Structure 1
Amino acid sequence: MIVKTLRRGAQQVALLGLGIAALAACETVEPPVTYPNGDQTRVPMREPVERDEERFATVPQQRRSEVVRVAILLPFSSTSENIDTVSASMLKAAQMVAFESENAKYVLIPKDTGGTAEGALSAAEEAVREGAEIILGPLFSESVDAVASVARPMGIPVIAFSSDSKVAGDGVYLLSFPPEAEISRVTAYAVEQGYARFGLMAPFTEFGDRVAQSFSTEVYQRGGDIIHTERYERAADAMIEPAKRMAAYAVETFTPDYVTPRNMGMNAGYRQDQESRINGDDPYMVSEPETAGSMAMSGGYQAVLLPEQGRLLRALAPLFPYYNVNVREVKLLGLSAWNNPLLTREPALNGGWFAAPDPSLAEGFKRRYEAAYGERPPRLASLAYDAALLTARLSQLPYDRRFSVETIANPNGYLGADGLFRLRADGMVERGLAILEIRPSGITVVDPAPRSFVTAPDQTGY
């Protein structure tokens, strides 16, 4: 159990209750310590977020040469029970690293953000006063901005769990599951298999906007074309008419069309050339072609991306065969949210491809987590595990190297709970993803995830 393991030495933080504890704000300010940029200025005290004091542990008072303090900031006491549960699971996953690594110098310091930017700011200031060399978290983009305002002046890196690219960079790294990486992988694989003309159905959401932008860029750069796009409100009834319009642009028979990549530096962005037909109240809308029905006879789309999930995906997919799209000829494409065994029961999705972490690697982490805590981890738990694993390994390096940009953004990457990943100097994450296919018998890997990034040898990867 957690407490038993953490009692190995005074260096480890004792775990209380269910493992959702955060550390109390210090009553007094310690003598100044030298931060990564050489600054010894104390961070001013702020009124701490209201917390239950019985849930706190005390930070050991070892010197920097004796311990490496790593703060993890999560919304343990948010207004959402679901977020509280996910945060607790992420903390448990991070604590697994301390147990598995047996690194006596590694001290994980949990801090509660309360799910707000103000709470994140207060938690970050506490972490800095207590000597944190690096911060893991928080979860929400507004909170990441608040934490960065404290960490950047001190030269303290932040590995956050948001997927909002606007908060990345200048010492803030986003370890998350951005849709852009999955879109790139599934598009590249489809193009390699001879799919050159694509359709897209995306919701009227910020996520849908990101998908539309990324998919258009990927398709264009790889030499393909987007034939038609439809947008919809996220409700089953609201999908019917867009799906009907979408169906008019599908090919009747798939014939492979192998294309040559375009200049990667030209027109990176949403393409609206004469072969891209976009309908609906879409921010990229152009005029509807007069000969829409004829597209199926010649240049209709051969594959369509459906970045939907769960119940709504099970409502959307059957609309294609209902409106006479042959889903054995037109390939349905998706993202990692398709990795759901329930989707194997939907005939329209059989044969569909999606990009996701390698399930064999992810299953290993899930088994270890379940053995430790008696429950299966939610999806985001692996992010906290990977962030803690990265910092635990790097904590063994000399102080001036362990959390430098060059070390964190190692081009060779790291092998974590979900497979290969690497953090870039601009703060974004790249992942080595597999291509999976939905079949009636289950979800199967059809193109394995890479096990290494092709770069010069280096010693600091896992």
Structure 2
Amino acid sequence: MAKAAKSLPPVALLLPLSGVHAALGRSMARAAGLAQGLEKKALIILDTGGTPEGAGAAARQALKQGAGIVFGPLLSAEAGAVLAAVGTRVPVVSFSNDPALLDSGLFLLGITADQAVAPLLRYARGRGVRRVALAVGSDSWSAQIAAAATRVAAAEGLELQRGPGSQPDALLVGTIAEGAQQGPAARAAGVQLLGAFSGINGSQEPLAAIEGAWLSAPDPTRFADFAARFEAQVGAPPGVIAGLAYDAAGIAVALRKSGGEDRSALLSPTGFPGVCGAVRFRENGSADRAMAILAVEQGRFRVIVGGASA
């Protein structure tokens, strides 16, 4: 098995190491470097510059250097250029969470609204919630939260309110900032606050404004070890996107140990563990992700339901 792994082609990581997202790209590169079992010679890190043109050039360079699988790009705007350059020659696992990229040929490793909303609303329904009000903004993540909530509410038999009406059982928000704005009034009215977040970085943030909220997020207990090692090396705590880069390197290690980096290997029914939640990829490029349910109690996160497996 070890001999087969050594003969595999290298893994390419396409990151914005220059341009406006350079700091984030460098953070992701450092996180990937912490993964155990992936030799430096097996990992090619290439700069996309955060642009479609740069991403396409990086993808072509990855193929020239013999990459057997591509992780990246970070931005959905870069994805088309990478796909145009790579085609179906090697699998592409993007860090994006943009549902518009589904069925495009690449896989999405980013935390999606469906992954955040579904377990939270199912948990809430099991605790007696029947009527949920939606309080999200107008940005892309908010639109994805609204669409996911509509699908899940219909499947779970929940009533979803988008405007004024009778008092709901729960109020769904998509960011901690929205929760802080809406939380005190909801709590005073006896309405359960629900937060479907793309990540909370495992940190104990000032959470007084969302005291009592139920949240869905990657399990902070699984994120903690990676976060400690990252901070010891870099001097600052990692964000969730850095965690995704670490998980990408972990997936690469798992693929190399199994002896394959092709699409069928990525579609393994057993999936892949990760600090941002275990994932199991589907044919259309989406993924099941194990998310935890947390409660905010006395300004701290308490894990109610752990994110064991996807």
TM value normalised by structure 1? 0.62
Give 2:162's aligned residue.
Answer: 229
For residue 203 of structure 1, give the secondary structure of its aligned residue in structure 2.
coil
Q: What is the letter of the counterpart of residue 181 of structure 1?
A: Q
Q: Distance in 1 between matches of 2:235 and 2:186?
A: 41
Q: Cα RMSD (Å) of the superposition? A: 2.2
Partners of 1:170 and 1:342 in 2: CA distance: 37
Which residue pairs with 1:392 in the alignment? 253
Tell me which protein shows more helix as a share of its residues: 2
Match of 2:288 in 1: 430
Q: Secondary structure at the match of 2:207?
A: helix
Comparing 301-310 with 359-368, greater Cα deviation is found at 301-310
Q: Radius of gyration: which is bigger?
A: 1
The amino acid across from 2:263 in the alignment is V
Indicate yes or no: 2:120 matched with 1:186: yes
Structure 2 residue 169 is the aligned partner of structure 1 residue 302: yes
Q: Deviation of residue 320 (structure 1)?
A: 3.8
Whole-angstrom CA distance in 1 between matches of 2:136 and 2:207: 22
Confirm or deny: 8 A CA contact 1:412 1:452 kept in the other structure: no
Residue type at the aligned position of 1:434: A
| 1:314 aligned partner | 180
Does residue 134 (structure 1) correspond to residue 69 (structure 2)? The answer is yes
- For residues 105 and 122 of structure 1, the distance between their equivalents in structure 2, rounded to whole angstroms, comes to 22
CA distance in 1 between counterparts of 2:298 and 2:82 reads: 46
Percent of pairs with identical residues = 29
Deviation track 1:393-452 (CA, whole Å, cap 9, x = no partner) reads: 212344xxx122221012221111223222222111221111101122411112222x23
1-structure distance, mates of 2:82, 2:50: 12
Amino acid at match of 1:384: A
Q: Secondary structure at the match of 2:265?
A: helix
User: 1:217 and 1:170 mapped to 2: Cα distance?
Assistant: 22
Q: Secondary structure in 2 aligned to 1:109? A: strand
Aligned AA (1:395): R
Listed as ranges, the gaps of 5+ residues in structure 2 are none
CA contact (8 A) 1:156 1:171 kept: no
Corresponding position of 1:249:
166
Match of 1:345 in 2: 208
1:77 counterpart (18, 21, 29): 18
Give distance in 1, aligned partners of 2:180 and 2:40: 49
- Output aligned runs, 1:202-221, within 5 Å: 202-221=136-155
Stretches of structure 1 lacking an aligned partner (at least 5 in a row): 1-63, 231-245, 251-300, 454-462
> Equivalences for 1:93-242 in 2 at 5 Å?
93-97=31-35, 100-101=36-37, 103-104=38-39, 107-153=42-88, 155-169=89-103, 171-226=105-160, 228-230=161-163
Q: Distance in 2 between matches of 1:358 and 1:185?
A: 13
Deviations 1:318-346 (A, max 9, x none): 3446xxx52xx321101226846344222
Q: Does the 8 A contact of 1:68 with 1:106 survive in 2?
A: no
Counterparts of 2:271 and 2:16, CA distance in 1: 28
Identify the residue that residue 280 of structure 1 maps to in structure 2. none
Whether 2:309 is the aligned partner of 1:452: answer: yes
Per the TM alignment, residue 104 of structure 1 is displaced from its structure 2 partner at its CA by 4.9
**2:9 and 2:67 in contact (8 A); partners too:** yes
Indicate how the Cα distance of structure 1 residues 215 and 171 shifts in structure 2: closer, same or farther if over 3 A, else same.
same
User: Bigger CA drift: 371-380 or 359-368?
Assistant: 371-380
Cα offset, 1:368, TM superposition: 1.9
Count of paired positions: 304
Displacement after TM superposition at 1:67 (Å)? 5.3
